[in-house]
A and B are shown apart, each in its own frame.
Chain A
Amino acid sequence: MPKTIPQPDEVSKPFWDFVDQQKLTLQYCTACSRYQYPVRAQCYDCGKADNLTWKEVQGKGHILETMVVHDTRVVRRKIDVPFNVALVSLDEAPYINFLSNLPGTTAHEAPQGAPVELIFEPLEGAPGRFIHEWRVTK
């Protein structure tokens, strides 16, 4: 599955640097005691940037729902169809969710509500870079 390569910007660069170190490290607002993903310049809740820090999370989650892409505008992914796109909630902060292709799980066979664990996939065409993914726990 040759994913497109995330292009970091000034705000998101620390996140992707952590991912390249195979760590899932989220923004965390110390004033609101809330994680934040995707990365933003300000806290979603208080709107301030001053209290945003970085905090590594454990990488356990559950599948909320899964759709299956049969036709995509993302040209690099056309050879992969059909493929799963799951919405995964983070166990230690269920209000945080991630997209996942559920590597290892056949399209249309994703078990709803199943536990998943974090893995890191190397990005094709970007040596040394990784992307966070989720795999169904056996």
Chain B
Amino acid sequence: MTTDFDRGWQRNKTGLGVWEHRAKVAIAGYGYSELDRRWDGVSLDRTIGAFQVDAMEKAIADAGLTAADIDGLMVCPEAAGDSWAQADRGMNRPYFDPPYDTEDGLSYTTAEWLIAEFARRGTPLSNLKYIDGKAPYIGPEMGKAAQAVGDGLAKNLIMTYNMGNVEGRYHLEEGIYSPSGRQWSAPWGWMTSAMMQHAFVFLQYCTKYGGSRDNLAPFVINQRRNGLMTPWSFYTQHEPYQITVEDYLDARPVAWPVTILDSDRPVQHAAAFLFTTADRAKDMKQKPIYVLSHAQMTRPSRSTMGTIEDHEAATEDLVKILYDGAGVTAKDLDVFNPYDGFAVFTQTYLEAFQWHDVKRGEAFDFYKGDIRVEGPHPFNSSGGNLGNGRTRTAMYTDSIEQLRGIAGPRQIRLKAETAACGQVTPTSNGHIYLSTVAD
């Protein structure tokens, strides 16, 4: 995941006040593809590119628009895993006939590829005026899309994000040398920041407030439960049974305290969102979901690893930017879908957002309560990555469905007029605040 992108548009410091485009931008459509564990290397209608076009077509149709109505395109062109060819490992898997004669469309997608594919299908994006083919990952990408429409760069902007997963175990460090940033970590067996950095912070959390990994069991089990209420989730399709406390406690350790059940499962999936102006959204097919605010946070660690104090401060600043931008407080937030790529950091968000009045050190007690979607504290109604597979977009699609009242069995029984969701980790993320009500 690159963090090397333009940040001039970001809302990334406190004191910015109410967002200048508050409720003047809306999400008028959304769509998502089917979900596979991996691309099988054969089915050209199930590549990540094909899934992404499918999601975009659905989002455009959901808004009641056609490809010709789209004047803005925003794409994150990064690969989630390794390349298809894996030439660097000597595999050299062959490519296919166009449009699959390069990596583009197989392990990542670019704006150019998507534009060409729409044209090839006879529904060209013929009126594009604004193209951002180097957007960041989904957290900040959502905010950037909202900002772009608010700034008048596009009227009907389709924004899309995918998580691809080709065959093979990816991101292996196979050589004997560790270059660049990994010279400071890989020699000691360090793998990924998201897992190990946050495992350290989680251990610090347990030292500071009490508790252990065992206290995450109710949360992880509930994530799986919510995912099993999502028809297309990985678990509904392939492992349609609930996990138990015993399953969780006995799970295979990966980097203790993180186990396999604390970690999201990579999948092949894409989603897309249609951003437009609030005025236009009122005349479109769906009830508008207004964007009240967005916020981003990027705070590099001072030393090898950030500490719990760093992560708590970063998330508290993030939430202040987001809430101030929307002109709201914690009690105004109905639907809350924070990131859970690893179970060990979600409590950092929960406590920073103070959703349902949960304050620092109180997450484990909160998890012990009734956090089911039917209950009084329907936490992370999407099921997140842990419940669905590593889509990184289920939090957004669920938030929209909750606000539209179409979440099916996942529909929370409480009022669902506002939602907050975001990606990814506490010191590197973007969040968005949504509402069915403009005023």
* Complex Cα spacing A44 to B257, Å: 30
Known A-B contacts A7-B177, A87-B200, A125-B176; the reply to A69 vs B189 at CB < 8 A is yes
Q: Is B126 an interface residue (CB 8 A)?
A: no
Partner of B183, one of A7, A76, A125: A7
Q: Is B187 an interface residue (CB 8 A)?
A: yes
* Complex Cα spacing A129 to B321, Å: 47
Partner of A4, one of B171, B177, B180, B204: B177
Partner of B255, one of A69, A80, A99: A69
CB pair A65 B200 closer than 8 Å: yes
Query: What B residues does A64 contact at CB under 8 A?
Result: 200, 204, 307
Q: Is A119 an interface residue (CB 8 A)?
A: no
Partner of A100, one of B174, B188, B300, B302: B188
CB pair A68 B176 closer than 8 Å: no
* Complex Cα spacing A82 to B179, Å: 24
CB pair B189 A74 closer than 8 Å: yes
Q: Is A12 an interface residue (CB 8 A)?
A: yes
Q: Is A120 an interface residue (CB 8 A)?
A: no
CB pair A68 B305 closer than 8 Å: no
* Complex Cα spacing A6 to B187, Å: 7
Query: What A residues does B203 contact at CB under 8 A?
Result: 65-67
CB pair A3 B304 closer than 8 Å: no
Q: Is B303 an interface residue (CB 8 A)?
A: yes
CB pair B178 A5 closer than 8 Å: yes
CB pair B255 A71 closer than 8 Å: yes
CB pair B173 A74 closer than 8 Å: yes
CB pair B175 A4 closer than 8 Å: yes
Q: Is B85 an interface residue (CB 8 A)?
A: no
Known A-B contacts A67-B200, A99-B185; the reply to A4 vs B176 at CB < 8 A is yes
Q: Is B190 an interface residue (CB 8 A)?
A: yes
| Tally of A-B Cβ pairs under 8 angstroms | 125
Query: What A residues does B204 contact at CB under 8 A?
Result: 64-65
Q: Is B100 an interface residue (CB 8 A)?
A: no
CB pair B172 A75 closer than 8 Å: yes
Known A-B contacts A37-B304, A65-B204; the reply to A85 vs B190 at CB < 8 A is yes
Q: Which residue of B lies closest to A5 (CB)?
A: B177
Partner of A95, one of B169, B176, B303: B303
CB pair B256 A67 closer than 8 Å: yes
CB pair B255 A87 closer than 8 Å: no
CB pair B178 A44 closer than 8 Å: no
* Complex Cα spacing A87 to B199, Å: 11
Query: What B residues does A109 contact at CB under 8 A?
Result: none
- Binary contact readout B237-259 vs A (1 if CB under 8 angstroms, 0 otherwise): 00000000000000011111110
Query: What B residues does A76 contact at CB under 8 A?
Result: 173, 176
Q: Which residue of B lies closest to A123 (CB)?
A: B187
CB pair B304 A87 closer than 8 Å: yes
Query: What B residues does A58 contact at CB under 8 A?
Result: none
Partner of A74, one of B181, B186, B252, B304: B186
Q: Which residue of B lies closest to A90 (CB)?
A: B303
Q: Is B207 an interface residue (CB 8 A)?
A: yes
Q: Is A18 an interface residue (CB 8 A)?
A: no
Query: What A residues does B188 contact at CB under 8 A?
Result: 3, 85, 99-101
CB pair B255 A73 closer than 8 Å: no
Within 8 A of B (CB), among A67-124: 67-77, 80, 82-83, 85, 87, 95-101, 108, 112
Q: Which residue of A lies closest to B304 (CB)?
A: A97
Query: What B residues does A16 contact at CB under 8 A?
Result: 183
Q: Is B114 an interface residue (CB 8 A)?
A: no
* Complex Cα spacing A87 to B258, Å: 16
- Binary contact readout B247-284 vs A (1 if CB under 8 angstroms, 0 otherwise): 00000111111100000000000000000000000000
The interface of chain A, by Cβ under 8 A from chain B, is: 3-9, 12, 16, 37-38, 44, 64-77, 80, 82-83, 85, 87, 95-101, 108, 112, 125, 131
What 20 new A-B contacts, CB under 8 Å, besides A73-B171, A73-B172, A87-B304?
A3-B188, A6-B177, A6-B178, A6-B183, A12-B183, A37-B304, A38-B181, A38-B183, A38-B304, A67-B196, A67-B255, A70-B252, A71-B253, A74-B186, A74-B189, A74-B190, A76-B173, A85-B188, A85-B190, A108-B256
The interface of chain B, by Cβ under 8 A from chain A, is: 169, 171-192, 196, 199-200, 203-204, 207, 252-258, 300, 302-305, 307
Can you list 20 A-B contacts with CB-CB less than 8 angstroms, sorted by A residue number? A4-B177, A4-B187, A5-B178, A6-B178, A6-B183, A6-B187, A7-B179, A7-B183, A38-B183, A38-B184, A65-B207, A67-B258, A73-B172, A74-B190, A85-B189, A87-B200, A96-B303, A97-B303, A97-B304, A112-B207
